[in-house]
Amino acid sequence: MADKAKQLPKDAFEPLSDGAHLDNEKIAAPSLTFVKDSWRRLKKNKAAMISLYILIFLFVVSFGSALIPAFSSISTHPNLNNLPPRIPGIDIPGFNGTLVQGGARVNAYTGAAANHYFWLGSDYLGRDLFARTLFGTRISLLIAVVATFFDLTIGVAYGIISGWIGGKVDTFMQRIIEILLSIPNLVVMILLLLVLKPGIPAIIIAIAFTSWINMARLVRAQTLELKSQEFVLAARSLGESSFKIAFKHLLPNLTSVIIINTMFTIPSAIFFEAFLSFIGIGVPAPAASLGTLISNGQKSFQFLPYQMWVPAIVLSLLMIAFNILGDGLRDAFDPKSRE
């Protein structure tokens, strides 16, 4: 009786149709390439995405302002010098054209300045600080592009060739890098000033002289590690040339390292240009650089602090954004951070 009670009814189970069990073998997650998977992880990093949007905004505003006549040409107006920021329709202290004199807040936009609006104020020659800050930001981003170019050309090629060939060639190429590292960038810049005039060309040559070294050393180390992998041995077995193996098989595997190191090289190049301009051997007048604006603003910082705060904030924003984005790219390209 107990055995009969334990028996299940005949309709307790339903037969499976042909192929119904195949659904259990399907992959639930979508197929992602390495780039798509890295972009998915990067989008989850809110700080990195905010930094990316900030950099895109600065690129668009600074380079786009060159197409607007009001911001592309910076003229002097001695009768409008040292005016505080004034934005139309805003009546907030600090942005309404008023400043404190003798313990009382007065309107600085009187007389000839009554119909003018300087969104970030004017300097000692009556030049629009907003237009000059955009010009200085454009120079800093240009330096960033130049540093990236030399990193991706000289640095990557030098590192791959040194690591791939190895032997005496690698030893000789590394000794050259050690010699270049022993010469400070400031000394290189001063020596270039003996031949070239101060300006963007001299700064670009100084950056081209040493900015690619860290990239070359990093790429060389990664190349030494990758060239002993099985996929390189397979390519050699198929008879592919060394040049094709280095730039077709090794370079894609070095992409993440190259991008991450580039993002950390850019802030150093921007700070280098700003420092040279700050001490007076960078971009010459009347051209504006963030370093030049900070140098001019610190002379009257006690009475007109906005003249230094504005370019200093923009320079800090650029460097912090590049560094945070670099951290985000490092986490995105690192497979160990996969959730």
Does the pTM exceed 0.85? no
Instruction: For 104, list phi and psi in degrees, rounded to 5.
Output: -125, 145
Assess if residue 62 is contained within a domain: yes
Query: Tokens 């010469």, residue?
Result: 183
Query: Tokens 């380079």, residue?
Result: 63
Assess if residue 87 is contained within a domain: no
The residue among 82 and 49 whose pLDDT is bigger is 49
Q: Distance (Å, rounded) from C-alpha 319 to C-alpha 325?
A: 10
Instruction: For 99, list phi and psi in degrees, rounded to 5.
Output: -145, 165
Q: How far is CA 133 from the centre of its chain?
A: 18
The top-scoring range by mean pLDDT among 7-16, 96-105, 119-128, 212-221 is 212-221
Q: Distance (Å, rounded) from C-alpha 92 to C-alpha 84?
A: 12
- What pLDDT does residue 8 have? 65
Query: How many structural domains does the chain have?
Result: 1
Longest dimension (CA), the chain: 112
- What pLDDT does residue 45 have? 87
pLDDT in tens, 101-145: 777 777 777 776 777 778 888 888 888 888 888 888 888 888 888
What number is the average pLDDT over the span 164-168?
87
The answer to whether 65 and 72 are in contact (CB under 8 A) is yes
H or E element at residue 268: helix 255-278
Read off the tokens for 41: 């992880």
pLDDT in tens, 79-93: 888 888 888 877 777
Assess if residue 79 is contained within a domain: no
Q: Distance (Å, rounded) from C-alpha 240 to C-alpha 237?
A: 8
For 33, half-sphere exposure in the C-beta direction (CA atoms, 13 angstrom radius) is 3
Lowest mean pLDDT among 133-147, 181-195, 208-222, 223-237: 181-195
CATH number, domain of 150, equals 1.10.3720.10
The residue among 80 and 313 whose pLDDT is bigger is 313
Assess if residue 257 is contained within a domain: yes
What number is the average pLDDT over the span 234-238?
82
Q: Distance (Å, rounded) from C-alpha 122 to C-alpha 219?
A: 47
The residue among 117 and 319 whose pLDDT is bigger is 319
Question: How many helices and strands in the chain, by DSSP H and E?
Answer: 16, 2
Strand runs labelled E in 202-303: none
Note the residue count of the chain.
339
Beta bridge partners of 86: 96
Assess if residue 23 is contained within a domain: no
**What is the dihedral sign for C-alpha 194, 294, 56, 156?**
positive
Assess if residue 266 is contained within a domain: yes
Q: Distance (Å, rounded) from C-alpha 72 to C-alpha 86?
A: 20
**Model confidence at 50, in pLDDT bands (50, 70, 90)?**
very high
What number is the average pLDDT over the span 248-267?
82
Assess if residue 3 is contained within a domain: no
Assess if residue 95 is contained within a domain: no
The answer to whether 116 and 230 are in contact (CB under 8 A) is no
Domain that holds residue 209: 57-71+125-333
User: Omega of the bond prior to 286 within 30 degrees of 0, cis?
Assistant: yes
